[in-house]
Every structure is written in structure tokens, then in C-alpha cells.
Structure 1
């Protein structure tokens, strides 16, 4: 595997040994990008029927699919992804068939309780948008603060 291939796949935040779940694969996806991820992780991508914990997820999304369906897919996919693990929506670039509106992605992500980052070019025809759950850091800080207060009360 070339250094370029490793670097491009690492930009997703995936690592050797990671199990990555792939959602909404179709014959239009970028097979080269899929191979780069598989080469880096050393594992085949698993499909949406996989039912064990995963180290990351990618969702191939195209315009014309229902925004509510995207929010539902995000929620379904996030159930198996480890907290803080890389979670990506991959869409055709603007001007390509199936390109989607950024507002649609933002709205679906928000409905699913996630923030959508700025799109990044991930291949010649596809952009990737990383999602992160709302408040993960805040929730963790609140838990730690409560634990500290509880610990002090026990003294």
C-alpha cells in the first residue's frame, strides 16, 4: 500500500484493525475510496446488516433521497458506532449527479442529534462531511462534575 493511500484513508480518522460500517452502498460509489479504507484498516467494510460495535461509519448519500430518511439512517448507523468514532456522510460533489444541498445534510444531522462539519473533498467525485454528536463533551464534563460532587458528599 502506498503512503498516499494510507494518508488519504487516515484523513477519515480510521486506523489499522478498525471495523467500518458502510451504509447505502450502490454501484455508483467510489470503489477506489472504499479500497483505500479497506487497505488502511486491513478489514473489509461491513454493511448495514452488521450488528456488532464498529469503530466508524460511512453513509453514501445522494440527492433525491428523503431528508427524514437521512436523519433516520444517521440515527440507525450511530447506534453501533463507538462514542467519538469517525462518522462520515459521503455525497457527490456539487455539479455531479446526485449532489445534495448542504442545508439538507445540516438539517438531517441536527434532527439526528449531530453536528455536520464543513464538506471535504474525499475523491474526484465525492465530498465527505464528518458528523459529531451534540454535547458529547458537555455530557462527559457534567458526569465528571457530578461524580466529583458525589465523591465529596461521601467524605
Structure 2
């Protein structure tokens, strides 16, 4: 039986032994999502200043955080060959919600393609991969 914490990591495709980086975490972020990922990884997220490549970047983003294209370009830099960015935005009706059209347009401008969307508690997750790498 999986707990809802393990379910968060499963929905994000996080596997034991992978390496992940978390960007944009703030007091409104859901710590259960972060904890679930770290529990499955078996270690903490990489430090934001690392030069290591990672399998996944978890990017928390709210409407007021600035230019989403810039945020996505920064999130792509540490990705390994088959890496993906999980863009986590407040769900519909929550403060800071980002319009779906803005997500798809920003992803395209940053060279990314959305492959999947998941609801994670009060947050909406969009799986973004570099164009040409459409594996989930």
C-alpha cells in the first residue's frame, strides 16, 4: 500500500537513486511533496549552487515570480540527457495561479514540451522535457 506521500513521488516519476534539484521553494510550497520526493530519492535535493547534472528539477512557480521563460531556462541548465522539469504552480482558484496558456507558451519559448500534467494537492504539476526528448 502506498501512502499519499509516495503517490506524489510516483506521479512525478521519481525513482530511487535519481538525483533532483528543487528551485523556487517558499513558505506557500507544500512540504509533503518535497518530503515525498526526498524519501523516494533516499537523499536530499541537490544544492541550488551545484554543478552536478540531475534527473529532475522541481520548480515551484507563482504568477508573481517573474518571467516564467527565464525561470524555465534556468531550470533546464542542470538537466541530464533524459532529465525533466516538473513545474509546480498553484492550482486553479489559488493565489498565484499561472494560466495554462502561459505555461505552454513559456515552455515552448524555453525549448520545452509538456508531456504530462498532474494534480498534487493544492498544486498543479506540468512535466516539461527538452524538445526532441518526449519520454515521460
1:109 aligns with 107
- For the Cα contact (< 8 Å) 1:53–1:82, is it kept in 2? yes
Does 2:57 align with 1:60? no
Give the aligned CA root-mean-square deviation in angstroms. 1.7
Is the contact between residue 116 and residue 128 of structure 2 (CA under 8 Å) also seen in structure 1?
A: no
User: 1:48 maps to what in 2?
Assistant: 48
Q: Which has the higher helix share?
A: 1
The 8 Å contact of residues 115 and 133 in structure 1, kept in 2 or not, is answered as: yes
Question: When the two structures are aligned, how many residues end up with a matched partner?
Answer: 133
- Could you say if the C-alpha distance between residues 109 and 95 of structure 1 is closer, same or farther in structure 2, counting changes exceeding 3 Å? same
Query: Do the aligned residues in 2 keep the contact of 1:14 with 1:86 (CA within 8 Å)?
Result: no
Contact preservation (8 Å) 2:57, 2:84: yes
Matching residue of 1:78: 76
1:74-108 CA distance string (max 9 Å, x none): 12221211122232100000101111101111111
Alpha carbons 2:86, 2:125 under 8 Å: kept: yes
Structure 2's unaligned 5+ residue stretches are none
1:95 equivalent to 2:93? Answer yes
TM-score by length of 1: 0.78
Answering whether residue 126 of structure 2 is matched by residue 129 of structure 1, we say: yes
- CA distances 1:13-32 after superposition (whole Å, capped 9, x unpaired): 11112221011111110001
Aligned in 2, Cα 1:49/1:31: closer, same or farther, shift over 3 Å? same
TM-score, reference length from structure 2 = 0.88
d(CA) in 1 for partners of 2:55, 2:28: 24
Unaligned ranges ≥5, structure 1? 138-155
